[in-house]
Amino acid sequence: MPSLILPEQRTRHRNSVQWADAAPARDRIELLLRAGLTMESIAEMCAVHHSQLYVLRNGRRGKPMTKVRASTLNALLAIKSKDIAAHELPPASKVAGDGARTQLQSLYCLGWSIDALHQESGLAKSALRGLRDGDRTTEAFRLKVDALYGRLRGRCAPRVTELDQIRYDNALARAATHGWDQYDAEDTA
């Protein structure tokens, strides 16, 4: 089907688009991701297709974008902290696991191993291991880890049986090996 836009109109349209440096837009995306939003949520909030944001963030064929539409940059900058706070993620949304991972590492500093956390909470060992080792997680699992951390923070893992003591020692050794620390000052009290 032939284009309905005449060649001279295409040139005028191309020249009417305002461009901006892509670096501030990439920085803004990273900031919004660290604040807990997903790429899909960011795309929804600024009315830009998520595939455009992925290309902006990751580049195309290994080359980073140098320019972005000024309207895209302005839409990203228009997302404010109150918008982030009001945005609720669906439970199945994939999110960065950084905060939950830090909580899990903090529990390791108190002797809580994956097995002990599983026994305490019923959370799947594979999901706990994945989070510990750096995987993304779902919003629902992040909330469960947050609740678990709220219950266990400041409380050392049980050492009733010999197996409990071995798990406790192994968790402390793993935390020391990886340089993990308790991130909440109240945990040390």
Domains of the chain (ranges; CATH) run: 15-86 (1.10.260), 94-188 (no CATH)
Kindly report the pTM of this predicted structure.
Answer: 0.54
Instruction: Dig out the tokens for 132 from the structure.
Output: 């510990």
For residue 36, give every residue at least 6 positions away whose Cβ sits within 8 Å of its Cβ, in sequence order, or none. 84, 89, 95, 96, 99
**Measured between alpha carbons, how far is 136 from 138 in angstroms, rounded to an integer?**
7
Each residue of 91-149: pLDDT tens digit?
Answer: 666 766 788 899 999 999 999 999 999 999 999 999 999 899 887 788 788 889 999 99
Of 11-20, 101-110, 131-140, 171-180, the range with the lowest mean pLDDT is: 11-20
Helices (H), the chain: 7-16, 22-34, 39-46, 50-58, 70-77, 81-86, 98-108, 114-121, 125-132, 139-152, 162-178
Query: What pLDDT is attached to residue 61?
Result: 87
Query: What pLDDT is attached to residue 1?
Result: 47
More confident residue, 60 or 36: 60
